[in-house]
Amino acid sequence: MKKLVFLLLASFIVLSCKTEEKETPRPYLSLTPPTTKKIPKTLKEHDTTRIDNYFWMRLSDEQKNADTPDAQTQDVLNYLNAENDYKNAAMWHTKDLQDTLYNEIISRIKKDDSSVPYTDNGYSYYTRFEEGNDYPLYCRKKITPDAKEEILLNGPKMAKGLSYFAIGGRSISPSNELLAFGIDTISRRKYTIYFKNLITGERLNDQLTNTTSSVAWANDNKTVFYVTKDPVTLRSNKIYKHVLGTDQSEDELVFEEKDETFRTFVYRTRSDKFIVIGSSQTLSTEYRFLDADTPNGDWKVIQPREKGLEYRVSHYGDHFYIRTNLNATNFKLVKTPINASTKENWEDVIPHRKDVLLDGVTVFKNHLVLDERKSGLSTIRVMEWDGSNDHYIEFNDPAYAAFTTTNIDFDTSVLRYGYASLTTPYSTFDYNMNDKSQQLLKQEEVVDSNFATDNYISERFFVTARDGAEVPVSLVYKKGTKKSADTPLLLYAYGSYGSITEPFFSATRLSLLNRGFIYAIAHVRGGQEMGRHWYEDGKLLKKRNTFTDFIDCGKHLVKEGYTSSDHLYAYGGSAGGLLMGGILNMEPELWNGVVAAVPFVDVISTMWDETIPLTTFEFDEWGNPKDKEYYDYMMSYSPYDNVEAKDYPNTLITTGYWDSQVQYWEPAKWIAKLRELKTDDNLLIMDCDMETGHGGASGRFARYKRTALTYAFLLDLENKTEE
């Protein structure tokens, strides 16, 4: 009944305001925001005491999965549903706009699209969508004249009747006759691996549960290696060997990663010669290998783990080629004999360079290809093994992304790479490494007769941060959009884990650009755009640089007349949601609105509890709060712990009930505390998807419902509510 009253009231307000420009007070002011109970929990840590009134919102997986909710679970569900009801009522007047945006966004997507095929072991593999379907068909054709299409997996059929469905890793056996694939129907990223006979079309009886979704095939076509997860922390910690036709309970444990700060994984080298087990944490890696012809053989460590030593392995001939940070902050490429692989045998192939980050390496029979980054921009470098014909592929946009993609064929002179910019849709090229000719295989089609790349303008410049660091900013807007104090601008950033935010094109974003928004990316510290030091200067005891960089970029955009604080908006998700929480507390008056997607905001409590997924192997990213130095520093920026009685800007928070990366209770606690303490009457809403996790809806189109809500939230704050 309360929900109905809310909706009727919101509808009445919309009708009464329909004929005139909407002004404050806004419709939501007539609604009563949800409240929930407070149960003070005293948390004594070091020499401090924290009181967390909303700690009770945390549920265990057992509680969430129970057929009948207990009292605590029901209280949590009631609160989450109340927040969703309030969000629906507060945004009811934008329903037509949301529908318009959603239909507009999905109308730009080619409904019967297909991927660019890649070749592997005599077959051409690709995915394709049929009109009206949310999920793709996974297909292949034999590379022979008049070969018929084989549908390996029928996504629409497999997903039928499921509220969430995701196909994970897909691995073909060396014989081309068997397919291993992972399925997740919960959105917790815990996959069950199934096997299919591609000759008969029958699914085998083998099932491997609680996995990371993919396998590495041995050359006998019957043995696979796979990874399982800790049932509580979801840490990838064990590697098993499975022989087809046997029960999972009989599988042999071949490796267990007992260090809780590491996770493990397994893969097959591009040369098909070795199976490789990797262990990694933020600052250290370790690899061991096994001849793929002898799945029952002994594993050999390439280089034992050391604190601060990172490396990644490729195989070619009698050597391993290793990208490493050994005496090389920005990484270098070395080679080492397979039978003498420890670091004292490493020989430089591409030495370390202070001004160039070595992002990645792709090894071909006759060529070596390097993904590099200089001055914040990606480059692709091609050379022959003798060092001749050493050159870079040329690109012209002021801000762009270029990178090698699916290059499975080892003995070829053709490199496949991807390219995009803020004005150029994603494009796939085949590049001849000998004569430097290239062919555009496909450019993402924007189904919009009014779209043309030259209708939009891209810029790139540097902002001087408060400590003198030069922070790159990439932005895009539609021709005719004036830079002024009245121009809305959405500023985005991530800034964690060394993850690089590339200036990609987005057809979805056109719905904002075409309505007068400028879209900007702040390449803040914590990412790796400017080299490894950019990451080192934005984590641990330097994490606040991420927040101040973003704020300084926002202030620069205001100072230079791109926008004003009345029309400046901020957006970030996950660790970028932490950034949003930080800037809300540090500089709330700078923004008219903030969108925090699946935000990591309860830093101290999450990093203190080692049973929570992701905690243990992120100590090198955020610090361990059980160390008082890190505790004090984390307390200085933790969004949840720094909410105060003051004015906050309009804020939209999103989350998923089944999120395994940032648990739903972090944003739920955060919004409850914001409601309790904030002194303004600005809009504060949360969208909690009760069916999904960190990545949102699994369907091809369903995910854009939340995008439409986000855009409607921004446009409504700009009074741009035309249908």
Helix (H, G, I), strand (E, B) or coil at 178: strand
Q: CB neighbours of 218 closer than 8 A, spacing ≥ 6?
A: 224, 225, 275, 292, 293, 295
DSSP string, 70-133: -HHHHHHHHHHHHHHHHHHHHTGGGHHHHHHHHHHHHHTS-TT-BPPPEEETTEEEEEE--TT-
In this structure, the number of other CB atoms found within 10 A of the CB of residue 562 comes to 25
* Dist CA 578 CA 62 (whole Å): 27
**Are 91 and 709 within 8 A, CB to CB?**
yes
* Catalytic one of 280, 367, 694, 716: 694
Is 694 marked active-site?
yes
* Catalytic one of 537, 659, 687, 689: 659
Is residue 25 reached through a cis peptide bond, with omega within 30 degrees of 0 on the bond before it?
A: yes
- Tokens representing 312 are 């990644």
* Dist CA 283 CA 617 (whole Å): 10
- Tokens representing 403 are 């990178």
Backbone region of residue 707 per phi and psi (left: phi > 0; alpha: psi in -120 to 50; beta: other values): alpha
- Tokens representing 257 are 């990663």
What secondary structure, in 3-state letters, does 287-302 show?
Answer: EEEEECCCCCCCCEEC
Which residue has tokens 């957006």? 571
Residue 229's DSSP bridge partners are: 236
Is 659 marked active-site?
yes
* Dist CA 212 CA 528 (whole Å): 26
Q: How far is CA 255 from the centre of its chain?
A: 28
- Tokens representing 595 are 């969108």
Q: Report CA dihedral (551, 552, 555, 556) to the nearest 10 degrees.
A: -140
- Tokens representing 640 are 């949840």
Distances (CA, A) of 457 to 5, 264, 475, 480, 503: 46, 43, 8, 10, 13
* Catalytic one of 171, 378, 574, 638: 574
Residue 352's DSSP bridge partners are: none
b/e for 575-598, b at 16 or more Cβ within 10 A?
bbbbbbbbbbbbbbebbbbbbbbb
* Dist CA 566 CA 649 (whole Å): 10
DSSP string, 289-351: EEETT-TTS--EESS---TT--EEEEEETTEEEEEE-TT-TT-EEEEEETTS-SGGG-EEEE-
Backbone phi, psi, residue 3, to 5°: -60, -45
- Tokens representing 385 are 């093994």
Active-site residues, by number, are 574, 659, 694
